[in-house]
């Protein structure tokens, strides 16, 4: 399978939003994606197969730091290594923009994501009680030095 990693275009936003709504328990609004797309301080990246979007990431950059608030792979494409590839691509793009540290939060129960982040040397730096809703759950705060 040939997967391509690239920056999102405005034409991608509807597909990104549909993946978000289908996968995430408390999805971002379309307005939130549009604001991220229009911002000078964010990057939205996608992974595609035959021009079909399989997943995306959002990175907010205020160099030398960045926040990774959203990285999502469509359910039907999970388990193919796309999360790993997309995270590699996102980190590479962050380095090009002089980012030294990436921060993120992840649900305590999201073991696959936590394992992925740990494989990329993200370290637990704290917890946020009751951070998530639907269901209410703590967040593990993580960071990675580049």
Q: Locate the domains of the chain by residue range.
A: 3-145
Predicted TM-score of the model (pTM): 0.93
- At 1 the pLDDT is 60
Tokens 């609004």 locate to 29
What was the pLDDT predicted at 76? 92
> For position 131, what pLDDT does the model report?
84
pLDDT the model gives residue 68: 98
Superfamily of domain covering 3-145: Gcn5-related N-acetyltransferase (GNAT) (3.40.630.30)
Closest CA to 43 of 1, 86, 104, 93: 93
Positions of the chain with pLDDT lower than 50, given as ranges = none
């Amino acid at each position: 399978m040939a997967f391509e990693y690239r920056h999102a275009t405005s034409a991608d936003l509807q597909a990104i939003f549909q993946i978000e709504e289908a996968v995430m328990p408390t999805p971002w609004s379309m307005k939130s994606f549009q604001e991220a797309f229009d911002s000078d301080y964010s990057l939205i990246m996608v992974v595609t197969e035959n021009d079909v979007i399989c997943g995306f990431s959002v990175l907010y950059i205020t160099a030398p730091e960045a926040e990774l608030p959203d990285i999502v792979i469509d359910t039907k494409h999970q388990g193919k290594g796309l999360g790993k590839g997309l995270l590699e691509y996102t980190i590479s793009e962050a380095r090009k923009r002089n980012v030294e540290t990436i921060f993120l939060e992840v649900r305590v129960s999201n073991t696959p994501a936590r394992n992925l982040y740990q494989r990329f040397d993200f370290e637990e730096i704290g917890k946020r009680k009751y951070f998530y809703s639907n269901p209410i759950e703590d967040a593990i705060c993580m960071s990675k030095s580049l």
